[in-house]
Amino acid sequence: MRLRSRPVLCNYYVTYRCNAKCAFCDIWEKPSPYITLADVAQNLRDLKRLGVQVVDFTGGEPLLHRQLDQMLGMAHDMGFITTLTTNGLLYPKMAARLKGKVDMLHFSLDSAEKAAHDAGRGVACFDFVMESIGVAKALGERPDILFTVFKSNLHQLEKVYREIILPNKLLLIVNPAFEYNTVATGDRLTEAELDYLSAFGKRKQVYLNEGFIQLRRDGGNHTDKPVCKAASTTLVISPENDLVLPCYHLGTKSFPINGKLYELYLSREVAALKQQEGRLPACEGCTINCYMQPSFAVEVNKYFWKALPGTLRYNLYKGTWKRLLVRN
Residue ranges of domains in the chain? 9-327
**Residues contacting 128, CB < 8 A, separation 6+:** 87, 88, 89, 91, 92
Fold of 9-327: TIM Barrel (3.20.20)
Judged against a pLDDT cut of 80, whether residue 28 lies above it is answered with no
AA identity, residue 76: H
Confidence of residue 318 (pLDDT cuts 50, 70, 90): confident
Which strands make up the sheet holding 81-86, listed edge to edge? 206-207, 171-176, 144-149, 104-108, 81-86, 54-58, 9-13, 234-237, 242-245, 253-256
Q: Which of 66, 47, 58 is nearest to 84 (CA)?
A: 58
Confidence of residue 325 (pLDDT cuts 50, 70, 90): low
Confidence of residue 161 (pLDDT cuts 50, 70, 90): very high
Percent of the chain with pLDDT over 70: 93
Confidence of residue 324 (pLDDT cuts 50, 70, 90): low
